Amino acid sequence: MKSPEASATAKQQSTVRWVVAIAAIALIFDGYDLVVYGTIVSTLLGDPTQLGEIGPATAGMLGSWALFGVMVGALVTGAVGDYLGRRKIMITGIVWFSIGMGLTSLANSVMVFGTLRFATGLGVGALVATAGAVVAEFAPKGKRNYYNAVVYSGVPVGGVLASLLAIVLMDHVGWRGLFLIGATPLLFLLPMALSKLPESPEWLMARGRTEEALHASIRTGIPISAPAPAQGAHVLAPIPADTKIGFLALASRKYALPTLLLGLMSFAGLLLTYGLNTWLPQIMSQFGYGKSYSLSFLLVLNAGAVFGGLIASVGADRIGAKRVVSTTFFLAAVAMLMLTLQLPFTILLALVAVAGVGTIGTQVLIYGFVSNYYNSSARGAGVAWCAGFGRLGGIFGPLIGGLLMAAGVENEIAFYVFSAVAIVGALVTACVPLRNSETNTPTRSAAQVEIAK
């Protein structure tokens, strides 16, 4: 017969698998949304019958509108997410994003397309801002960076998916069909989330909903971080009612400086992520590579981020995310500088993969870093702040690329600019104060509490 502890562990493992799977699939479609626009930019630039006459600057602006929506969605989520709960925000984000992608496939003008890209970004922002908080509160200690990397690697996986589908399906379904694929989470991911995504016991505890937290912990097997109950106690001690929650907590003396620095890290990471994903095919085509080769660079960029990010996350759990993020930022700078050299094609592909680790992969690690830096009362707002403020960098990435292309500067200049941003990201990361994000209080499952009664 299984002991209560063993039963709780089995429940926890099952719960964590479902939570990680749902969050990862949601972010796969975030990555799909990010990269699918980059795969159709050339089509929109070259065919005015699609949405109208579009130049490089307008194309960059359209890419940035989606990111502006993500920023607004993330910040709004940060304002309400720590009050409404992780489950409600995730489900709302899935529905909103899917409907937005479906409607975008029907756009018939630049104005409508840009408006729908902004609206879709609101749902994406909710998902990105909440996923890290969800994983941090369900994943076991010692593996939180790894599970965060698994979930946020969904972004580059989505990029790989978008690149592959563009190569295979573009001539058959066109750009509208590619966007319609982005609406499919409504058919399979939403039912999965409704049935398998629980509310976080730790979040319930942070809101003072003690009995609900206890029942949720028993049902899911997820431990609750709380002081050990006194002899004969039947409930867990809730967090004090006057604890600052959400953005108020971020403005406290404890978190103000780290929040600023973490936001700047995310700004740099997302500027590089969105800038390269939007303009890498176009830059490489101007180096003389055809459309298929250019899309291959995009594929390798995101594939490198997936595998490199997962490997780097193991190191982050062992030696700390701060050291690893600084290193990967620096590697990105070196790789992008070397991309300006006349090197063999295979070496260029390897450098693009390293750049993927140091840009998209680094942003994956940043989300894990941020998620584990804050306690539950500030975690949702902290991740939302970094996702939202960071999206300013995401907005500037496509704009900078578009302005450089429109100005007719040499192709190398774009890589020089992105390398400089990576160096700044490494320096900012080095300045983040070290902090033990793990509480010193024991972690007790509801089953253990029942034994203690």
pLDDT of residue 346: 86
CA–CA dist 71, 65 (Å, integer): 10
Confidence of residue 326 (pLDDT cuts 50, 70, 90): very high
pLDDT of residue 298: 78
Contact (CB, 8 A) for 300 and 281: no
In sequence order, the 6+-apart residues with CB closer than 8 A to the CB of 406 are: 55, 56, 57, 60
Per-residue pLDDT reduced to its tens digit, 263-295: 899 999 988 887 887 777 777 776 666 666 666
Lowest mean pLDDT among 129-138, 240-249, 382-391: 240-249
At residue 434, the 3 state secondary structure works out as coil
Structure tokens that stand for 445 in this block: 């499952």
Q: What are the backbone angles phi and psi of residue 444, rounded to the nearest 5°?
A: -130, 130
Q: Within 10 Å of residue 431's Cβ, how many Cβ atoms?
A: 14
CA–CA dist 137, 287 (Å, integer): 46
The yes-or-no verdict on residue 234 having pLDDT over 80 is no
Distances (CA, A) of 158 to 152, 162, 298: 10, 6, 12
Per-residue pLDDT reduced to its tens digit, 120-132: 999 988 888 888 7
pLDDT of residue 245: 65
Residue with tokens 């017969």: 1
Helix (H) or strand (E) holding 224: strand 224-225
CA–CA dist 96, 98 (Å, integer): 6
Contact (CB, 8 A) for 438 and 143: no
Predicted model pTM: 0.71
* CATH number of the domain bearing residue 167: 1.20.1250.20
pLDDT of residue 388: 77
Per-residue pLDDT reduced to its tens digit, 304-323: 888 888 888 888 888 888 88
Domain of residue 64 covers 4-452
Contact (CB, 8 A) for 369 and 329: no
What DSSP string runs through 76-136?
HHHHHHHHH-HHHHHHHHHHHHHHHHHHHTT--SHHHHHHHHHHHHHHHHHHHHHHHHHHH
CA–CA dist 425, 429 (Å, integer): 6
Q: Within 10 Å of residue 171's Cβ, how many Cβ atoms?
A: 8
Choose between 30 and 428: higher pLDDT: 428
Closest C-alpha to 430, from 252, 265, 250: 265
Confidence of residue 101 (pLDDT cuts 50, 70, 90): very high
Q: How many domains does the chain have?
A: 1
pLDDT of residue 255: 79
CA–CA dist 447, 360 (Å, integer): 40
In the chain, what percentage of residues exceed pLDDT 70? 85
Q: In terms of DSSP H, where are the helices of 287-375?
A: 291-319, 321-338, 345-356, 362-373
Q: In this structure, is the dihedral angle defined by the CA atoms of residues 190, 195, 196 and 198, taken in order, positive or negative?
A: positive
